[in-house]
Amino acid sequence: MSDSYNDSLHSHATGKLYEYARGMRKEPTIAEKFLWKFLRNKKLDELKFRRQHPLDKFIADFYCHEKRLVVEVDGGVHNEKEVKESDAGRTYELKELGITVIRFTNEEVQHKIDRVLQTISNVASKIDDKK
């Protein structure tokens, strides 16, 4: 990981974005709260995740800086055409910053948590392989 990556990661994040992220941490969705139980305190593969973390002009649901990995948990609104397009644009912009994004639905997190955690683990391990 280069120093320029570390230095520039939050360069576009405004104070308002940090404030908004703080508020989002105080009121997680049910699925986010559930997934956080499995990610917090390095419970998954010793990876440190942050929740509702500002990245550039976005807020990631969960972010592992070590792997440059974003995990998004999407509710039903993400099935709408405009939101899908926005999500695709956001994923593209984060990819341009060297960040991998994976998405799960609320239902996957709540009803298939083992599969969700295995996918996160697999993706994170493949990121290591690229180094």
Q: What is the pTM of this model?
A: 0.80
Strand partners, 130: none
Strands 69-74 and 100-105, bridge-based pairing: parallel
Calculate the CA 91 to chain-centre distance: 10
CATH class for the region spanning 3-130: alpha beta
**What would the 3-class secondary structure string for 72-114 be?**
EEECHHHHCHHHHHHHHHHHHHHHHCCCEEEEEEHHHHHHCHH
Strand partners, 105: 74
d(CA 67, CA 112): 23
Question: Tens place of pLDDT for every residue, the chain, 131 residues?
Answer: 333 444 445 545 556 655 655 656 667 889 999 999 999 999 999 999 999 888 888 889 999 999 999 999 988 655 667 767 888 888 999 999 999 999 999 999 999 999 999 999 999 999 965 54
Contact (Cβ atoms closer than 8 angstroms) between residue 72 and residue 51:
no
Per-domain residue ranges for the chain?
3-130
